Amino acid sequence: MRTDTIIMGGGLSGLACGIALAKRGQRVTIVASGQSTLLFNGGSMELLGNIDGQVITSPLDAISTLPHDHPYSKIGTSRISSLASEAQGLLADAGISMEGTATTNHWRITPMGVAKPAWLTLSENIRIDELDKLPAKRVALMCIRGFFDQPNGMLAHGLRQLGFDVQMVEFTTDDITALRRSPSEMRAASIAKHLMSNNALQRVADQINKLAADADMVLLPSVLGLTDESHFKALQDMVHKPLRLIATLSPAVAGSRMQSALRHYFQMLGGNYLMGDTVVGGNLEGDKLLTVTTAKLGDMPLRANNFVLATGSFVSRGLMANYERVYEPIFDLDVDADGDREQWTRFGIMDPQAYSRYGVATDSGLHCLKHGKPIGNLYAIGSVLSGHDAIKMGDGTGVSLLTALAVAQDILSGNK
C-alpha cells in the first residue's frame, strides 16, 4: 500500500497534521503509542498566555515579538492568524466545538479556580471573556460527595477571588454512591461513563434542581461527555438554570473526548491509525528518510514520501534523558539541550526549568537535523520542538496545532 506521509505520535499535533493531510487526499499512517498528553487537558487550547511572567491579552500581536527560535517564528508570524482559524475549523469538523479568538485571549477557569489566559475553550465549559464582566453573579458549585479530583475548597476560594458569589452544594445520587464501593472508582472518567444513561442524568438533574434553585448559573465538575457533547446538552435540558462544566484534575474527561474525537475524524477521512505501536528506528540515506520500523511490525519497514515526528516531550518519551545526556530516541536527531546535567533543572519547583525548552533542533522549515544537516522529508511538530516553554508561556497546544497545520501545508505544497 502506498503511504504518502507517516506521522510518529498520535496526540494533538500528530492527529491535527494527519487530518489536514487526509482531508486533501493524502494517505496517512499515524503510529501512536496510545498515551497522549491531551488526556491532561481540561478543555482549552492556548496560543500564547505569558511572556516572562506577563499575561498576554492579544496573542497575535505578542507572537511577532517572540525570539527567532520559537516555533511560531519558524512558521512565520504572517501565517499564524490563518493557521489559527484553520485549527479552530478543524476541531469543529471533528465535533469539538470550541469558542474564542486568536486576537484576544479569554480566561479559562482551572480546577483550582485560577483564571488562565486561553485561546479556545469547549462551549460547555465556563469561560470569562473579561474579568470585570462575569457570566453570572451567583453560582452554585456542585460538589459530588466523595469525588476528590475536584479540590472544592480551593476552587470555591478561587471563584470568590474572581468575584463570583459561590454557593457550595454537596450532592450525590444512589448510583454515584454505588460507584464509590470500589475505593479507586471515583474518578471523573468512571463517573462520566456512568452518566451516559439518561436515567442517571435525570437523577443528577433532580438534585441540581432541588439544591441549586437560587443560583444564576450551575457549575458542575467536568464528569460528562466522554464521547461527545450530547450528555451535556441532555443534562442542560433537564436543569432549569444555565449549566457550565469546570475542569477537574487529570485524567480529564474533556481531554479524553478531544483525543477520541480527533482520532475518529482522522479514521473517517481514511487515515490509518496504528494504535499501541511506536516507531523504533529508520533507514536514513543522505538527507532523506526512506523507511521507519515499528516495535510491532518489526521486520516490515514502513515506506513513505514524508515523515513527521510528533512524539512529544519527555512526558511522552519523544525526548529522553539518561544521566549523561538528553536525546531523541528514534533517530538520535540533533537536540537543543544543555550538555551538563546540572543545567537541566532549577532549584525551585516553580522556577522556569531549562528542560522545558529542550527539543529536537529544526531548520526554519521545521525539518529535523542530524549532525547539523537537515533531513529534507522529516519534519518535527508539537511538543518535541525546542524553543518554547509550554508550562510558563501557555503556548503548548497552540504550538502543537499550528506547527502541525503549517507542516501539512508545506508537505502538500511539495516540500518548501
User: Which residues in 48-107 contact other proteins (CB under 8 A)?
Assistant: none
Binding mask 247-266 for other proteins (x = CB under 8 A): x-xx-x--------------
Interatomic CA distance for residues 114 and 99, integer angstroms: 19
User: Which residues are within 8 A (CB) of 330 and not within 5 positions of it... i.e. 6 or more apart?
Assistant: 8, 279, 280, 281, 282, 292, 309, 311
By the rule CB under 8 A, 342 interacts with other proteins:
yes
Instruction: Considering the complex, state which of residue 96 and residue 239 has its C-beta at the smaller distance from other proteins.
Output: 96
Instruction: Cell 478561587: give the residue.
Output: 158
**Per DSSP, what are the bridge partners of residue 244?**
219
Q: Segment contacting other proteins (CB under 8 A): 36-44, 73-81, 120-128, 130-138?
A: 36-44
Q: What are phi and psi of 252, to 5 degrees?
A: -95, 145
Give the DSSP per-residue string, 58-74: -HHHHHTTS-TTSHHHH
Three-state SS string across 366-381, please?
Answer: CEEEECCEEEEEEEEC
394 neighbors 63 (Cβ within 8 angstroms): no
Q: How far is the CB of 349 from other proteins (least distance, A)?
A: 4
Q: To 5 degrees, how large is the angle CA 124–CA 128–CA 129?
A: 115
Among residues 356, 252, 277, the alpha carbon closest in space to that of 37 is found at 252
Nearer to other proteins, 115 or 361 (CB): 115
**How far, in Å, CA of 225 to CA of 20, rounded?**
25
Calculate Rg over the CA atoms of the chain. 22
Which of 95, 146, 281, 376 binds other proteins (CB under 8 A)? It is 146
Binding mask 355-374 for other proteins (x = CB under 8 A): xx------------------
Closest approach of Cβ 186 to other proteins, in Å?
6
Q: Does 327 bind other proteins (CB under 8 A)?
A: no
348 binds other proteins (CB under 8 A): yes
Applying CB under 8 A, does 158 fall inside the site for other proteins?
A: yes
- Is there binding between residue 390 and other proteins (CB under 8 A)? yes
Interface residues with other proteins (CB under 8 A) are 37, 40-42, 110-112, 114-116, 145-146, 148-149, 151-154, 156-158, 177, 180-181, 183-184, 186, 247, 249-250, 252, 313-315, 317, 320-323, 341-342, 344-345, 347-350, 353, 355-356, 390-392, 394, 396
